[in-house]
Structure 1
Amino acid sequence: MTRRIGTGSLVIATHNAGKLKEISALLGPHGVNCLSAGSLGLPEPAETGTTFVENALIKARASAQASGIVSLADDSGLSVAALDGRPGVYTADWAERQWFEGKPGRDWYMAMGKVEGLLCEQGPDTPRDAWFSCVLALAWPDGEVAVYEGRVDGALTWPPRGNLGFGYDPVFVPQGRDVTFAELDPEEKHRISHRADAFAKLVADQFS
């Protein structure tokens, strides 16, 4: 039997207030009080893993060890079949501006353009299959861990469409739909997303 979080406090290994709010809404009904690593002053560990699972575990373990409280971390990104799974764990890095590309920060349109450019180099008949992955990692202070993986399949389109999403959402059309994630009503997107898939597995395992 999987070890349970139980009721009480859970550290969300993030310094992002939006992510804390989103996860709190998902877990609050189960009696979990979510705290952010940022609010506790915990440092952000270097994400040196080569897979989503490795990076999620790095963040969850660091928070659990530093806080002494069971912690939850996520790692997610876009993988493109024709690009051998890239950008994958480097999904956000592809949006980081280089010194010659302007002020520091993330430029998601640039990132989408990089993906499209690499696909175009392979020719017009290149398959455009892609998927979003989300890995949730739970870590206890004594070292025990649990991992839940979510995925949504689809295909890439160009040019970008819609303004309701973020990241690569404007070029990702989920399987069975004819609109991009950025054109979907946010509630509908959250219902079918890779993150929703991962959280459904976590909730079923931890609270059912």
Structure 2
Amino acid sequence: MAATCPVDLDTVRLRNEIREIYARVAEAPEGEFHFHRGAAYAETFLRYDRQALARIPPLAIESFAGVGNPLRMGSVPPGSTVVDIGCGAGTDLLLAANIVGPRGRAIGIDMTDPMLRKAQAAAAEAGISNVELRRGDVLELPVESASTDVVISNGVLNLAPDKRRAFSEVLRVLRPGGRFLYADIVVESELPESVRRDIDLWSG
């Protein structure tokens, strides 16, 4: 299975298209997209806890576009530091912030400014003060080395053109014994070169 995109793929264009798509998801979540979004999808298809979702603002959940439920995959201890890669409008980020409590920290990282603004507004609306938002992406995390107890990610690694570098960044920021809880899309067989060169497929 390839861990990197073709060497001649225009990764700058890829990043720009990803930003454009998810900026539209932030600003107009009711628009037409080829992937599911929102609270009903999170609760019905991905088994998010209804009561937990009720504790965070609809502002965050309406733009939710994850592919799984990373917080179901392992425990997040109270008081711990959590980093959410590709936090979007903040659904998983705010859920994690509530779990770790006031003695913990939840750091959200996203490359899309409208998503960061929406996550910040949602945290403020909910009165959740242990949240910090940072601009960045999985290939160069704006996080100190060995500073994080748990890293979570939901549907972001499949968008990264260099998976080895992405995983290396996750391992860099985790403390010894830290945990990486992630949900993502994988394929069972090698994709043909024509598919791997299609930016529209990468960016979705």
TM-score grouping bracket, smaller chain normalisation: under 0.3
Name the structure with the higher strand share: 1
TM-score w.r.t. length of structure 1:
0.25
Query: Relative contact order: is structure 1 or structure 2 higher (C-alpha 8 Å, sep ≥ 6)?
Result: 2
TM-score by length of 2: 0.25
